[in-house]
Amino acid sequence: MKLPNYYEDPNTLHVGTCENRSYYIPYGQDLNSHATLLSGDWRFGYYPYPEAVPADFINPDFDDSSMDTIPVPSCWQCHGYDYHQYTNVNYPIPFDPPYVPKENASGAYRTTFTLSAEAAKQRNFLYFEGVDSCFYVWVNGKFVGYSQVSHSSSEFEISSFVNEGTNTLAVLVLKWCDGTYLEDQDKLRMSGIFRDVLLLTRPKSFVRDYTVRTFLKDGGAGVVRVSVEADGEISPVLTLCDADKNPVGEAVLADGVYEFTVLNAKLWTAETPYLYTLTISTADEVITQAVGIREVYIKDGVVYVNGQNLKFRGTNRHDSDPVTGYTISKEQAIRDLTLMKQFNFNAIRTSHYPNAPWFTELCDRYGFYVIAESDIEMHGYLSTYHSDRENTLGLLDEGGVFTEAVLDRVQRNVIRDKNHPSVLIWSLGNEAGFGYAYQNAGRWTKEYDPTRLTHYESSTWDHSNRFDKSMLDLYSRMYATTEEVDSYFAEEGPKKPFIQCEFVHAMGNGPGDIEDYYQQIMKYDGFCGGFVWEWCDHAVNQGIAENGKTMYGYGGDFGEYPHDGNFCMDGLVYPDRTPHTGVYEWKNVVRPVRARLVDAHKVTLALKNMLDFTDMADAITLSYECKADGELLCSGEIAVPSTAPHTESEVTIPVTLPKTAADCYLKLTYLTKTAHELVPAGHEVGFDQFLLSGSAVRRLNTVTDEATAPTVTEGDRFLTVSGEEFTYQYDTFTGIFSSLERGGETISMDYSIFRAPTDNDRNIREEWERANYHHSQTRTYTTEYAIDGQTVQITSTVNLCAVTVQSIMKFTVIWTIDGAGTITCKIDAKRNTDMPYLPRFGVELTLPKSWQQVSYLGYGPQECYIDKHHLAWFDAFESTVEDMHEDYIKPQENGNHYHCRKASVGNGTNGVTAYAATSFDFSVSNYSDYELAVKKHNYELEESDFVTMHLDYKNSGVGSNSCGPQLLPQYQMNDKEFEWEYQLKF
Ligand code: GAL
Ligand code: MG
């Protein structure tokens, strides 16, 4: 069919649409809804380009019986049409704004709705909550209008198009339009009517829009101001009720604004989401609106909500589901919000577009602070030839092509969601540079709504000094390093509050830098918090593999070009919302109570209430447990003293410490005291653990058997060390045991510096590969042995090296073997500091496959690393090799246990136990490191016919360098010189 070409015309953004308004559903005085949901199965035809669509599909008499059906709302890629594509920065189409490819996939939708005689005489509207990317609408064969801006509402008045009885609605959706250039968010690219469609039947005159604003007065009163805009003649009556449905105050009308004064107002916060209900009533309609009384403002560079300096503990959230794509039901959204509450989040950034119009309603109700973001991202400009970050995007809107579009998108976001207490911050968009269009849109926002804060990260890329940015309240950054944060606050002079709208990039195994950032957030009043990138992994469920695993597809799995691989899987939860270990790390870092050991002898602790509005005693119950090397000494509950937000109080725990060298740890566990709608009472919100006593170094007794020393036989290469029950082959070329045989089972050993790169290793990996770490080997310079009484001692000097490159490390290793076959290993090493830091340094043991039982004394039970261990605690744990594996969709290093004193792997009869003089990192897996490194999907992983056990002097931290800063030096295996001692008993 031939269409008016609005979709390549940035001057025609909408045709026939109603003026923007806040989102609400009107009811009749009989309390019947005036909205009918048109969602359901619609007729659907998929065409390669609009010209191929039959022109008469819009007509009521068109025979649509041979068309397919598709559910509305949905994305057509999720129903077998077109193909999936994942791209991050790169535009999926040639860069030729405002033009888009001629082959522009087109979806023709048809449905019908019926109107009673009475309804047909009233005023009727169609309300589309979200259509990607643009759409044309016809009712009964007549053209109604056109709209774009995928994640915003478009409303059309269809009063003059409808009749009593059956009416035909036809919608043509195009995959690309000029708006595509403004919707280059990092996501799977999907199309269609992906949110609900409503039919509204309203009286001749009605409330068109209203704006609610709240203020606080000294003395605890809250002020609720409501302005009402009418279509036609109305005399609205406004009432405000509390949560128990009792009216509070009377509306006073002055200068066209209704004002309620609520004495002793109960204030809305994320912790206390108290809502009043506003009712706007006209002759024929009732509109209700939840009202939260609260105030947000900045004073001296600090963000305050209701007079309290608070921190955003936030996450970025996309609408994303492995089956339904962009289409998210309330149940799916509530599932996310439930997890967020349970994992101690208090804030959400709707990256990078408005969510469904009811989403902020849920945030009002459950208590989340929201950065509401406009549907804009033009990141792809950076991938064009001759581009640079500072200028390319800024220049773009100087040309004026998208100036109107930017303003339109910002207005649609602000006006739709303006009545929600949860929204504290308006975001102008994401990664689209800064220029006149943004200056303009920013000014409009601040003038339209001075009661909220404004934010736009791209403003901080532009250093031209050509634009006014005074309307932006926050200094917004993403992935700023801890150093950059420090220097921002070290600079003299007044400054805007600092916010990390994205940080701790949660891709794969990580993030490892949450605690470091949180320390800064706590340190600087002006650092108002951050938002983790991001909430969920984006992927497409492609069915179940033979081994029973879900086959999640990511970039490149759909044969598409271009694509950005697995960069879409960078969330805190898997696509099905199973939590990643990283979200446990977050949860405990931002726990609502932080304890400090004041006196280890008296076991006195200071408990700090990290909540912003709730007394600690009202929110938390506390239990404790004291263990010596994992053996319970005592446990109990302690009454939580009344403690105001942000203050401390002391408690003393009744513990009598034994005189032992064992590690005595005290663990405090914090539980919710009362139930919240999404969190039951007794839910664990975090814990603290303290070492009360113990000795850092444990002497490893090299003689565990008083019997005679083993014998040694010299071969041309190997030393055979034998005892009554064992035969060990020591390789004098490599400086380690090539085989350890006992009871018919054989183990082998090797030095190990390689790990299956994590997503966060993606940059350093290149250095590691250049240094040939993945081909490392050892050779000895010298080997000597001696038999001294009860033991054999072998000493080698060793060079750890790889072909082509220089030495990585040199060390002396002393092995002591006693009559029982116990091996004690002592290493004294010097690393070549010209080489990059190591993934790890330690030994790898290849164990019989039947050894599947694991126990360890160290940090667990979840995987943990030197920089990601706040989710774990020190204890004695038992597990299985299978359970020690964390099944990342894109396989990688996983399952490490930080700071272990002891670890055993066996089958109940045979096994090995490792002891550390100080500690080691420990992991064990049914998959080889090589397998984890090369396989692209978890469902392709094949188990090896042995078990791989790692004991490391140090396994490097995981950080968040997939997008965040480099791994901090203190978490790298970068030691210049070190000693390490451990023992293996069989
Ligand atoms: C940011 C961007 C996000 C996401 C992230 C990388 O630059 O704002 O949308 O792409 O990088 O995962
Ligand atoms: Mg981007």
| Tens-place pLDDT, residues 550-559 | 999 999 999 9
Q: What is the mean pLDDT of residues 24-32?
A: 95
Q: How far apart are CA 172 and CA 136, in angstroms?
A: 5
Q: What is the CA(965)–ligand 1 centre distance, in A?
A: 14
CATH 2.60.120.260 fits 6-202, yes or no: yes
- From atom 9 of ligand 1, which residue's Cα is the shortest distance away? 186
- From atom 6 of ligand 1, which residue's Cα is the shortest distance away? 963
Query: Is residue 658 very low, low, confident or very high in pLDDT (cuts 50, 70, 90)?
Result: confident
Q: Say how far residue 840 (Cα) sits from the centre of its chain.
A: 27
- Contact yes or no for 352/377 (Cβ under 8 A): yes
Handedness of CA 505, 511, 516, 520 (dihedral sign): positive
The partner residues of 985 in beta bridges, in order of sequence, read 913
Q: Which ligand is nearest to the CA of 430?
A: 1
Q: Give me the pLDDT at residue 276, please.
A: 98
pLDDT tens readout for residues 482-514: 999 999 999 999 999 999 999 999 999 999 999
Q: Is the pLDDT of residue 731 over 70?
A: yes
- From atom 11 of ligand 1, which residue's Cα is the shortest distance away? 963
Q: What is the CA(81)–ligand 1 centre distance, in A?
A: 28
Alpha helices in 717-839 (DSSP H): 764-770
Q: Is the pLDDT of residue 729 over 80?
A: yes
974: exposed, middle or buried (Cβ count in 10 Å: 0-12, 13-18, 19+) = middle
Q: What length does the chain have?
A: 986
Q: What is the CA(118)–ligand 1 centre distance, in A?
A: 51
Lowest mean pLDDT among 384-398, 515-529, 647-661: 384-398
716: exposed, middle or buried (Cβ count in 10 Å: 0-12, 13-18, 19+) = exposed
Of 29, 19, 18, the residue nearest 279 (C-alpha): 29
Fold match flag (206-283 vs 591-693): yes
Q: For a substitution probing ligand 1, which of 89, 383, 431, 479 has the most ligand atoms within 8 Å of its CB?
A: 431
Q: What is the CA(494)–ligand 1 centre distance, in A?
A: 29
Q: What is the mean pLDDT of residues 101-121?
A: 98
What phi, psi does 487 have (nearest 5°)?
Answer: -70, -30
Q: Which ligand is nearest to the CA of 318?
A: 1
Q: Give me the pLDDT at residue 628, please.
A: 96
Q: What percent of the chain has pLDDT over 90?
A: 94
Fold (CATH) for 298-536+571-588: TIM Barrel (3.20.20)
- From atom 3 of ligand 1, which residue's Cα is the shortest distance away? 186
Alpha-carbon Rg for the chain in angstroms: 32
Q: What is the CA(695)–ligand 2 centre distance, in A?
A: 50
Q: How far apart are CA 557 and CA 85, in angstroms?
A: 9
- Which atom of ligand 1 is nearest the CA belonging to 185? 9
Q: Which ligand is nearest to the CA of 533?
A: 1
| Helix H or strand E segment including 333 | helix 330-342
Q: What is the CA(185)–ligand 2 centre distance, in A?
A: 5
pLDDT tens readout for residues 738-792: 999 998 999 999 999 999 999 999 999 999 999 999 999 999 999 999 998 899 9
Q: Give me the pLDDT at residue 390, please.
A: 61
- Which atom of ligand 1 is nearest the CA belonging to 88? 10
Q: What is the mean pLDDT of residues 697-711?
A: 87
Q: Which ligand is nearest to the CA of 352?
A: 1
pLDDT higher at 708 or 891: 891
Candidates 3.10.180.10, 2.60.40.10, 3.30.200.20, 1.25.40.20; CATH matching 206-283: 2.60.40.10
Here the tokens at position 596 are: 């400090």
Residues involved in catalysis: 431, 502
Distances, alpha carbon 935 to alpha carbons 119, 262, 328, 657, 958, in Å: 60, 62, 31, 49, 20
- Which atom of ligand 1 is nearest the CA belonging to 351? 9
What phi, psi does 977 have (nearest 5°)?
Answer: -140, 140
Here the tokens at position 873 are: 């605690």
pLDDT tens readout for residues 803-841: 999 999 999 999 999 999 999 999 999 999 999 999 999
Q: Is the pLDDT of residue 978 over 90?
A: yes
Helices 391-398, 436-448: crossing angle, 10 deg rounding: 80
Q: What is the CA(538)–ligand 1 centre distance, in A?
A: 13
Q: For a substitution probing ligand 1, which of 189, 349, 353, 533 has the most ligand atoms within 8 Å of its CB?
A: 533
Of 914, 924, 913, 919, the residue nearest 901 (C-alpha): 919
Q: What is the CA(83)–ligand 2 centre distance, in A?
A: 21
Q: Give me the pLDDT at residue 387, please.
A: 79
Q: Give me the pLDDT at residue 401, please.
A: 81
- From atom 10 of ligand 1, which residue's Cα is the shortest distance away? 186
pLDDT higher at 600 or 809: 809
Q: What is the CA(666)–ligand 1 centre distance, in A?
A: 40
Here the tokens at position 37 are: 């949901």
Q: Give me the pLDDT at residue 476, please.
A: 98
Unique residue bearing structure tokens 């405990």: 588
Q: Give me the pLDDT at residue 707, please.
A: 74
- Which atom of ligand 1 is nearest the CA belonging to 431? 8
- Contact yes or no for 269/613 (Cβ under 8 A): yes
CATH 2.30.110.10 fits 711-849+922-985, yes or no: no
Q: What is the CA(461)–ligand 1 centre distance, in A?
A: 15
Here the tokens at position 350 are: 């709707």
Q: Which ligand is nearest to the CA of 380?
A: 2
Q: Helix, strand, coil: what percent of the chain each, to 5? A: 15, 40, 45
Domain range annotation of the chain: 6-202, 206-283, 298-536+571-588, 591-693, 711-849+922-985
Q: What is the CA(879)–ligand 1 centre distance, in A?
A: 37
Q: What is the CA(431)–ligand 1 centre distance, in A?
A: 9
CATH 2.60.40.10 fits 591-693, yes or no: yes
Q: What is the mean pLDDT of the chain?
A: 96
Here the tokens at position 45 are: 């035809």
- Which atom of ligand 1 is nearest the CA belonging to 534? 12
- Which atom of ligand 1 is nearest the CA belonging to 505? 12
Q: For a substitution probing ligand 1, which of 88, 763, 960 has the most ligand atoms within 8 Å of its CB?
A: 88
Q: For a substitution probing ligand 1, which of 186, 376, 499 has the most ligand atoms within 8 Å of its CB?
A: 186
Lowest mean pLDDT among 37-41, 48-52, 260-264, 694-698: 694-698
Q: How many CB atoms lie within 10 A of CB 243?
A: 11
Q: Which ligand is nearest to the CA of 183?
A: 2
Lowest mean pLDDT among 100-109, 322-331, 573-582, 700-709: 700-709
Unique residue bearing structure tokens 């129903």: 79
Which residues are in the CB-under-5-Å shell of ion ligand 2? 186, 379, 431
- Which atom of ligand 1 is nearest the CA belonging to 507? 12
Q: Is the pLDDT of residue 385 over 90?
A: no
- From atom 2 of ligand 1, which residue's Cα is the shortest distance away? 186
- Which atom of ligand 1 is nearest the CA belonging to 963? 6
Q: Is the pLDDT of residue 388 over 80?
A: no
Q: Is the pLDDT of residue 397 over 80?
A: no
User: Which residue ranges have their beta carbon within 6 Å of ligand 1?
Assistant: 88, 186, 352, 430-431, 478, 502, 533, 567, 570, 963
Q: Give me the pLDDT at residue 463, please.
A: 86
